Amino acid sequence: MSPNPNLLSIIFLLGAAQGFFLIFLLCKKKVNRQANRILALLIFTFSYPIAAFAFWYNDYLFVFLLTKLYHFYATIDPFPLLFGPLFFLYARVLASNSGILRKRDLLHFLPAAAFTIFLLPDFLESAEFKIARLIALRTETADVGLAALPVLLYNVSYLAWTTHILSGHQKNIKDIFSSIEKVNLRWLRQLTIIFAAVWGAFIVLMVAEWIGYRLIYTIEPGLLIVMAIVVYIIGYYGQSQPKIFEESEPENMEQRKYSHSGLDREKNQQYMKKLTKAMEKDHLYQNGGLTLSELSKELAISPNHLSQVINAGLQKNFYDFVNEYRIEAARKMLHTDESNKLTILAIAYEVGFNSKSAFNTAFKTYTNMTPSAYRNLAAKAA
């Protein structure tokens, strides 16, 4: 059973309206301003075509399109070439310390610009030509074949590039933050996978069309709805995403070279003692928002030297170093009789975790059991 055209038009119109509202919210945000502007453009690349599809699937709206909006004919055609670059740049800027675009980033938009120039003759055609072409496109089922396959592969390649950026980000933040649940961009990695699945489905439909199975016109509206939903989820998470890096935070500690840092053995031992005291006596790990930069200020040690002490000296990243102290403190608390008066969440907060889920994940990583199971085992052994 084919989709109801009127229902599809309503869904597409509501989706487009939501998209434009998200664009308005993102443009007003002062945090992550550069990333949010890119995200606003990304949402526009979906909202505008989705609004166009609303006119396409409804007879009354299509008549309005023919009589009033025919000049917009073919204006959505370059938009698929914008998605990949915008999505990649959004992820890169969000995960970057500098958070800025460079002039050479304009090169990402050359294919879209070239295709727009190629379409200029169509844009400049007469009203009669555009109206006749719109009617023909709507009444005749076009043979799609593999014509759109290069565009789909183009976007998939950008998704792969984005995945690489986000994987590197996941490693980098563990050299800087002790709690990563708000800065790991896990939501963006998951949505990247969903996007890849949708684009992959489009590729399968292209190939099926080429070998004779005409499925795309039945399934395409559903895939468009899924993609629209995912984009708006990105908009929701994006407008609530806190700034990841402060100006003083190094972007990638792993790439720093320690050979010319000026840190000799004597200083290294001195810093190690200060670091051990800060953790074992001053319990700085209890600060749930502790970062490398904050700890370096507390100890009066440069971030680069402190990173070298932890990474090169202890063979750990900052995240693991701090959380090992937190887990050890939690284990001691779970062994005491007084801990029975505290909930698991209270213990998590006490040792420096910001949520029960983060505490459970970290505790299981280091002990191979949940805090509750560990508490029960300790009670039986007592």
Q: What is the pLDDT of residues 219-233, one digit of tens each?
A: 667 767 776 777 778
**Any domain includes 193:** yes
Q: SS3 for 229?
A: helix
List CB contacts of 142: < 8 A, sequence separation 6 or more: none
Q: Identify the pLDDT of residue 274.
A: 93
* Distances in whole angstroms, Cα of residue 91 to Cα of each of 56, 66, 285: 32, 39, 30
**b (16+ CB within 10 A) / e for 70-100:** beebbbebbbbbbbbbbbbbbbbbbbbbebe
Q: Identify the pLDDT of residue 146.
A: 57
Q: SS3 for 48?
A: helix
Q: Are residues 77 and 174 in the same domain?
A: yes
Q: Are residues 131 and 198 in the same domain?
A: yes
**What tokens does 143 get?**
């043979």
Structural domain boundaries, residue 100: 5-240
Distance CA 95, CA 85 (A): 15
Q: Identify the pLDDT of residue 277.
A: 94
pLDDT tens digits along 272-320: 999 999 999 999 999 999 999 999 999 999 988 898 899 888 889 999 9
Distance CA 172, CA 150 (A): 33
Residue 95 pLDDT > 50, yes or no? yes
Q: Are residues 270 and 125 in the same domain?
A: no
**Any domain includes 13:** yes
Q: Identify the pLDDT of residue 258.
A: 57
Spatial contact of 157 and 222, defined as CB atoms under 8 Å apart: no
**Any domain includes 50:** yes
Q: Are residues 140 and 277 in the same domain?
A: no
| Domain endpoint, select from 206, 240, 274 | 240
- Region of 231 (left: φ > 0; alpha: ψ -120 to 50; beta: rest) is alpha
pLDDT tens digits along 324-344: 999 999 999 988 766 677 899
Spatial contact of 278 and 284, defined as CB atoms under 8 Å apart: yes
| Domain endpoint, select from 195, 215, 240 | 240
Q: Are residues 259 and 162 in the same domain?
A: no
Note the pTM of the prediction, 2 decimals. 0.80
Polymer length in residues for the chain: 382
| Domain endpoint, select from 240, 269, 286 | 240
- Region of 301 (left: φ > 0; alpha: ψ -120 to 50; beta: rest) is beta
Residue 72 pLDDT > 80, yes or no? no
The fraction of the chain above a pLDDT of 70, given in percent, is 86
CATH number at 361 reads: 1.10.10.60
**Any domain includes 247:** no
Q: Are residues 118 and 227 in the same domain?
A: yes
Mean pLDDT of 51-60: 79
**What tokens does 322 get?**
């701090």
Beta bridge partners of 177: 291
Q: Identify the pLDDT of residue 98.
A: 62
Q: Are residues 174 and 209 in the same domain?
A: yes
Q: Are residues 227 and 376 in the same domain?
A: no
**Any domain includes 63:** yes
**Any domain includes 271:** yes
Mean pLDDT of 365-381: 87
Helix ranges restricted to H, the chain:
5-28, 33-57, 59-68, 80-94, 110-123, 127-139, 149-173, 186-210, 216-240, 265-280, 292-299, 303-308, 318-335, 344-351, 356-367, 371-381
Q: Identify the pLDDT of residue 216.
A: 58
Q: Identify the pLDDT of residue 16.
A: 85
Does residue 172 or residue 109 have the better pLDDT?
A: 109
Q: Are residues 43 and 179 in the same domain?
A: yes
**Any domain includes 245:** no
Spatial contact of 376 and 365, defined as CB atoms under 8 Å apart: no
Locus of tokens 């390649």:
157
Q: Identify the pLDDT of residue 248.
A: 47
**What tokens does 93 get?**
């800027």
Q: Are residues 208 and 276 in the same domain?
A: no
CATH number at 43 reads: 1.20.1070
Mean pLDDT of 162-168: 92
Does residue 259 or residue 277 have the better pLDDT?
A: 277
Q: Identify the pLDDT of residue 55.
A: 81
**Any domain includes 116:** yes
The fraction of the chain above a pLDDT of 90, given in percent, is 31
Count of structural domains within the chain: 2
Residue 381 pLDDT > 50, yes or no? yes
Q: Are residues 221 and 276 in the same domain?
A: no
Mean pLDDT of 230-246: 75
Q: SS3 for 101?
A: coil
Q: Are residues 83 and 194 in the same domain?
A: yes
Mean pLDDT of 147-152: 78
Q: Identify the pLDDT of residue 51.
A: 84
Spatial contact of 366 and 327, defined as CB atoms under 8 Å apart: yes
Spatial contact of 181 and 358, defined as CB atoms under 8 Å apart: yes
